[in-house]
Structure 1
């Protein structure tokens, strides 16, 4: 009988340890999930900021090319041609 009690006590002890470890792992998982969520939010904010800066850069580059800097005259002509094509397309859609 004593042997069975020892086995049962040992099993209870092991189960208790496993349950404790499970609880610790759940807490760790919750903490990591929260950190991941915060990191993803930060990343999306940074991506939005990068997109804003890229847009500002392109606008500034276009403005500089319109002002007549020598190295970007070709880009200016291409951009103006693109704008003219877009306007022609809009006019043709309006006339239909």
Structure 2
């Protein structure tokens, strides 16, 4: 009876581990060593994309700053600056 309990518990833990891993795979989680499996070409592409995204974020931050300044400045100043630009 005791060994049957030990066997049942071990089997339950194994089944739970397999089910948990299947759920992780379905949810999109990757193994910790997957980064090691990426080729150098794939890593270079990821790095290039990161650089591009950082540049785009910097540009958007600048644009947001200008829009905030326009939204908070008095109308007279904005119209004067627009006239100066013409």
Tell me, yes or no, whether TM beats 0.5.
no
TM-score by structure 1 length?
A: 0.38
Greater share of helix: 1
Answer with 1 or 2: which has the greater Rg. Answer: 1
TM-score by structure 2 length?
A: 0.42
